[in-house]
Amino acid sequence: MAYSVVPVDIVRHRDALLALWADHTYDPRKNAGAMDRFNWLYGSPERSCTWIAIETSSHAVIGACSVFRANRRVDGRLVKAGVMNLFMIDAKHRTGAAALALQRALTAGCHEAGFDVVLIKLSFHRMPVFIRGGFKRVGTVHKWRRWLDGDDAGDSPRRTGSCRREIISAADARFDQLLQTAMFPGRNTGETTSEYLNWRYTGFRDNYRYYCLLHQDDGRLLGYVVYHRMNEGAIVADISCETLCGPTIDELLGGFSEAMRTDGCAWISVAYLGHPSFEECLRRLEFQPMKSTKDRPLLAYADASLSEEIRNSLFESRNWFFVGDQTAILLAESVWRNGPLITETALQTDGIAP
């Protein structure tokens, strides 16, 4: 079969996209949480881009892939980046040709669309087709969990005299101030402005929250954890701190653990790829690596317009500070209460359909 790939026209292709979502994830017409994200993804053309695959003989839409904005700082330099999500191919067309056509359209058009780096987190058995499409492996995102049993969540050293804590529902100017002061030479971190954070996380029924560590005297933001609740636990979506190792990050995660235990959580999970120093921090705070079946490779496509120095840094996993749940826009049925249960496969691959 032959396929053509074109940028989405949401007015023309809305019904086809709704049908693809219903087949591969949730049906937005029946699930309000999914409809929130559907409108978010396709309603912000300046922050996302979608390509659709069309079977040329029937003119049927048989696949789609989307990239949403998630800029990075690589060695202190801003890089226009995005996350690929919701890579969907109709079951009758999963011979490889349709998937490769979508990927090649993306890699050929991503620079013009404003993305010089595209990231994707998926399962290991789906890697080969993306490698063929021009992606390279950055490393493996490992999942960690801390059980909040009894009173042990507050056992880590506290600096209660110099810090205070609050949980808020939206990012503000303090987050921009932290971003300007938290510069990490040689590290690959997110460009998480307050505007971006609020666009990415705030105002959805997913009920994301921001746990904040503040300086006691001047109220300066020292670090934060973006999270949402699921069943008896809390899932970390993103983390930022004035330092990525040492007492402040220990205080941030230790205080977050204490707050979640107080809120009735039995566990916290965080997925991470990057320098081992942060994994040492997790171990100090009694996080334990989950079984390897929870691991996911992170791949990246780097446009040829980037310098060799930046490309080399992108593919050195030790340079990264990457919290893996920032790639997810589809949440579990226990979070999106109404609608059918999303499949475990789709949950584990951030919406990359089999």
Where is pLDDT greater, at 124 or 94? 124
Which among 150, 151, 205 is positioned nearest to 333, based on CA atoms?
Answer: 205
The pLDDT of residue 159? 52
Q: Are residues 168 and 105 in the same domain?
A: no
Q: What is the largest CA-CA distance in the chain?
A: 70
CA distance 99 to 119: 16
Whether residue 56 lies inside any domain: the answer is yes
The pLDDT of residue 342? 36
CA distance 114 to 215: 37
The pLDDT of residue 353? 47
Looking at 292, 309, 335, which one is the last position of a domain? 292
Looking at 276, 292, 308, which one is the last position of a domain? 292
At 266, which helix (H) or strand (E)?
A: none
| DSSP of 329-347 | ----TTTS-SSPPPPHHHH
CA distance 190 to 202: 17
Domain that holds residue 159: 143-292
Residue 162: give its domain's CATH number: 3.40.630.30
Q: Are residues 267 and 309 in the same domain?
A: no
Q: Are residues 259 and 325 in the same domain?
A: no
The pLDDT of residue 346? 35
Say what percent of the chain tops pLDDT 90. Answer: 67
Q: Are residues 16 and 130 in the same domain?
A: yes
Checking if the pLDDT of 150 tops 70, the result is: no
Q: Are residues 59 and 84 in the same domain?
A: yes
Q: Are residues 160 and 265 in the same domain?
A: yes
Q: Are residues 135 and 157 in the same domain?
A: no
Checking if the pLDDT of 45 tops 90, the result is: no
Q: Are residues 96 and 150 in the same domain?
A: no
Whether residue 354 lies inside any domain: the answer is no
Whether residue 43 lies inside any domain: the answer is yes
Q: Are residues 69 and 188 in the same domain?
A: no
Kindly report, residue by residue over 62-96, the tens digit of the pLDDT. Answer: 999 999 999 999 988 999 999 998 899 998 888 77
Kindly report, residue by residue over 255-302, the tens digit of the pLDDT. Answer: 999 999 999 999 999 999 999 999 999 999 999 999 888 899 999 999
Looking at 252, 268, 292, which one is the last position of a domain? 292
Where is pLDDT greater, at 336 or 346? 336
CA distance 296 to 298: 7
The whole-chain average pLDDT of the chain stands at 88
Kindly report, residue by residue over 11-42, the tens digit of the pLDDT. Answer: 999 999 999 999 988 899 998 888 989 999 99
CA distance 36 to 39: 5
Q: Are residues 338 and 234 in the same domain?
A: no
CA distance 198 to 192: 10
Q: Are residues 101 and 158 in the same domain?
A: no
Number of domains in the chain: 2
Cβ pair 267, 248 in contact under 8 A: no
CA distance 179 to 197: 12
Buried/exposed code over 275-284 (b: 16+ C-beta within 10 A; e: otherwise):
beebbebbee
Which residues does residue 274 pair with via DSSP β-bridges, in sequence order? 321
Q: Are residues 137 and 152 in the same domain?
A: no
**Phi/psi of residue 107, each to 5°?**
-65, -30
In angstroms, the first-to-last Cα distance of the chain is: 19
